[in-house]
């Protein structure tokens, strides 16, 4: 697929995964075009690189001379460009399959899991880059410390985040496969947690070497079926462990042990126990590729969290952070990181539920996830191209918070009204954090501007 002189059209090219894949294929000499429903930073960046990006989907964007169209899992089968490709007998290639073709051209590392895979992939790419491996990488989030989310390097290794949402990960084969954790998500694809576990198991079974985050019980259950798997975690029986963990706001320090032997101390520029576990998976993957652990640990000290992963927007009497977390376990872990790194602060959390199907499946589970917050503002559901489901509203989340925690829960559907609420209720010392995979970040970015400048600014 990645031979020069070939032409591919990306349907939904503005997505972070699609745009990154397009960039890497362009670096191989492939001619790329694309379409998306709206302009964003990714489409602007691709235009600057010479890609023809058209707004809106139109059958005229597809011609018989294409070698294929590449589609994300968000693109339905009745999309007009997909239908045009089928009429012209142009291959329709899922993004994951296109990525798998790229991985086959290098020695590959795939990072999978319900939570933390973007951060872990970025950590591993940082280690490979800082130790002179000149890796290729694809990360599902913008990475300031890497100069972007995608790069075609000259080195032997290609590290990529592996998306499980459409179930196609079972067809990916890598030299090294990493599994961070397993949780209930994408039930519209899998139907049950058992099927999710089986999908991850099939993916890991395709790899030559495996790295497992065994603090997660589902990963633990799988890991010990693979006799040669390399285990990481805080658990005593993990081969690669973190001990003596100390938290201080945006940095964490811990001792790194291999088979019980102290290797070195690690300075991790990221908060929370969940990021320690991510770092152990990244360090474990680096180790099985032949990098000394003390060398990898030094490289990790220069790591920057990806965009929207505990992104500090303002620290001026009031701390303002934006975070992509949109599942109960992710939110719980991030709030725990705030409580350990910023003790005795009042936490105001703003949560934008993501997708009607996810809210329907997991709505009540979000209650306990917010138990460490003092006040939670719940906005309307971000649909992410889904149609509303009868009776499914954000109110189920607010009710779960009230019923399961001591936090105050307030439903404010409008983002503009959320901003007004925050402006009138915050006080010095507050820690304000937005959660969600949609556009809730605009609220905290504008709030940060207000706090910094003393007046509103446009984001």
Q: Are strands 261-268 and 31-36 parallel, antiparallel or unpaired?
A: unpaired
Encode pLDDT of 313-354 as tens digits: 998 889 999 999 999 999 999 999 999 999 999 999 999 999
Which residue do the tokens 């959390």 mark?
A: 349
Encode pLDDT of 144-195 as tens digits: 999 999 999 999 999 999 988 888 889 899 999 999 999 988 888 898 999 9
The predicted pLDDT at position 342 comes to 94
The predicted pLDDT at position 456 comes to 38
- Nearest to 409, CA basis, from 382, 375, 363: 375
- Nearest to 68, CA basis, from 84, 55, 80: 84
Does residue 225 have a pLDDT over 90? no
The class level of CATH for 106-300 reads alpha beta
Q: Where are the beta strands (DSSP E) in 97-207?
A: 107-112, 136-138, 150-151, 157-161, 176-179
Rounded distance, CA 99 to CA 101, Å?
5
Q: Where are the beta strands (DSSP E) in 1-149?
A: 7-11, 31-36, 52-55, 68-71, 92-94, 107-112, 136-138
DSSP code of residue 147: T
DSSP code of residue 146: G
Average pLDDT over residues 250-258: 97
Whether 6 and 33 have beta carbons less than 8 Å apart is answered as no
Q: For residues 160-177, b (16+ Cβ closer than 10 Å) or e, as one string?
A: bbbbbeebbbeebebbbb
In degrees, to the nearest 5, what angle opens at C-alpha 266 toward C-alphas 246 and 112? Answer: 100
Q: 60-64, 331-335, 373-377, 384-388: which range is least confident on average?
A: 384-388
Per cent of the chain over pLDDT 70 is 98
Rounded distance, CA 398 to CA 166, Å?
29
Bridge partners of 431, per DSSP, are: 319, 347
Predicted confidence band at 374 (pLDDT cuts at 50, 70, 90)? very high
Whether 153 and 313 have beta carbons less than 8 Å apart is answered as no
Quick one: which H or E segment has residue 48? Answer: helix 41-48
Does residue 459 have a pLDDT over 50? no
- Nearest to 231, CA basis, from 178, 169, 272: 178
Rounded distance, CA 232 to CA 239, Å?
6
Tell which CATH classification among 3.30.300.250, 3.40.50.720, 3.40.190.10, 3.20.20.150 matches the domain 7-95.
Answer: 3.40.50.720
Contacts of 221 (CB under 8 A, 6+ apart): 197
DSSP, collapsed to helix, strand or coil, labels residue 282 as helix
Phi, psi of 212 (to 5 degrees): -125, 135
Does residue 455 have a pLDDT over 70? no
Encode pLDDT of 419-437 as tens digits: 999 999 999 999 999 999 9
Does residue 3 have a pLDDT over 70? no
DSSP, collapsed to helix, strand or coil, labels residue 212 as strand
Phi, psi of 32 (to 5 degrees): -125, 135
Rounded distance, CA 99 to CA 355, Å?
26
The structural domains of the chain, with segments of one domain joined by +, span 7-95, 106-300, 311-453
Does residue 232 have a pLDDT over 60? yes
Q: What's the pTM value of the predicted model, to 2 decimals?
A: 0.90
* Per-residue CA distances from 171 to 109, 121, 199, 201 (Å): 14, 19, 10, 12
Tell which CATH classification among 3.10.450.100, 1.10.760.10, 3.90.1150.10, 3.90.190.20 matches the domain 311-453.
Answer: 3.90.190.20
Does residue 1 have a pLDDT over 90? no
Encode pLDDT of 63-84 as tens digits: 999 999 999 888 889 999 999 9
Q: Which residue stretches of 49-134 are H helix? A: 80-87, 95-103, 117-130
Average pLDDT over residues 367-395: 94
Does residue 446 have a pLDDT over 50? yes
Rounded distance, CA 408 to CA 293, Å?
45
The predicted pLDDT at position 248 comes to 92
Does residue 458 have a pLDDT over 60? no
Domains 106-300 and 311-453 share a fold: no
Mean pLDDT of the chain: 93
Whether 439 and 354 have beta carbons less than 8 Å apart is answered as no
* Per-residue CA distances from 262 to 12, 142, 285, 428 (Å): 47, 34, 18, 42
The predicted pLDDT at position 5 comes to 75
Rounded distance, CA 302 to CA 300, Å?
5
């Amino acid at each position: 697929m990645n031979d020069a002189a070939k032409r591919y059209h990306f349907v939904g090219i503005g997505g972070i995964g699609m745009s990154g894949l397009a960039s890497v294929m362009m670096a191989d000499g492939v001619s790329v075009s694309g379409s998306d429903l709206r302009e964003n930073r990714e489409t602007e960046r691709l235009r600057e690189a010479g890609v023809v990006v058209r707004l809106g989907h139109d059958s005229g964007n597809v011609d018989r001379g294409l070698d294929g169209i590449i589609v994300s899992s968000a693109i339905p089968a009745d999309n007009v460009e997909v239908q045009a490709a089928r009429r012209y007998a142009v291959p329709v290639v899922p993004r994951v399959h296109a990525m798998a073709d790229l991985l086959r051209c290098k020695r590959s590392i795939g990072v999978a899991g319900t939570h933390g895979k973007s951060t872990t992939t970025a950590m591993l790419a940082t280690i490979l880059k800082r130790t002179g491996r000149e890796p290729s990488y694809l990360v599902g989030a913008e990475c300031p410390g890497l100069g972007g989310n995608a790069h075609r390097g000259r080195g032997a290794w290609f590290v990529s985040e592996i998306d499980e949402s459409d179930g196609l990960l079972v067809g990916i084969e890598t030299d090294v496969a990493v599994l961070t954790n397993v949780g209930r998500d994408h039930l519209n694809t899998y139907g049950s947690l058992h099927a999710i576990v089986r999908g991850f198991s099939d993916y890991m079974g395709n790899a030559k070497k495996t790295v497992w985050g065994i603090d997660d019980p589902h990963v633990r259950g799988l890991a010990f079926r693979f006799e040669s798997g390399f285990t990481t975690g805080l658990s005593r029986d993990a081969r690669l462990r973190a001990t003596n963990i100390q938290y201080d706001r945006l940095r964490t320090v811990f001792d790194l042990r291999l088979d019980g032997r102290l290797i070195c101390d690690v300075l991790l520029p990221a908060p929370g126990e969940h990021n320690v576990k991510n770092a152990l998976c990244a360090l474990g993957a680096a180790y099985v590729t032949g990098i000394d652990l003390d060398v990898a640990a030094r490289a990790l000290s220069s790591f920057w969290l990806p965009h929207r992963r505990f992104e500090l927007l303002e620290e001026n009497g009031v701390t303002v952070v934006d975070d992509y977390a949109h599942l109960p376990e992710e939110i719980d872990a991030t709030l725990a990181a705030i409580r350990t790194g910023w003790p005795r602060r009042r936490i105001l959390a703003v949560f934008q539920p993501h997708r009607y199907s996810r809210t329907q499946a997991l709505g009540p589970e979000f209650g306990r996830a917010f138990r460490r917050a003092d006040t939670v503002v719940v906005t309307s559901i971000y649909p992410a191209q889904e149609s509303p489901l009868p009776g499914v509203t954000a109110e189920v989340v607010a009710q779960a918070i009230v019923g399961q925690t001591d936090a105050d829960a307030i439903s404010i559907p409008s983002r503009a009204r959320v901003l007004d609420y925050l402006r009138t209720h915050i006080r010095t010392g507050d820690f304000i954090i937005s959660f969600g995979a949609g556009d809730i970040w605009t609220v905290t970015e504008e709030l940060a501007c207000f706090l910094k400048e003393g007046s509103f600014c446009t984001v």
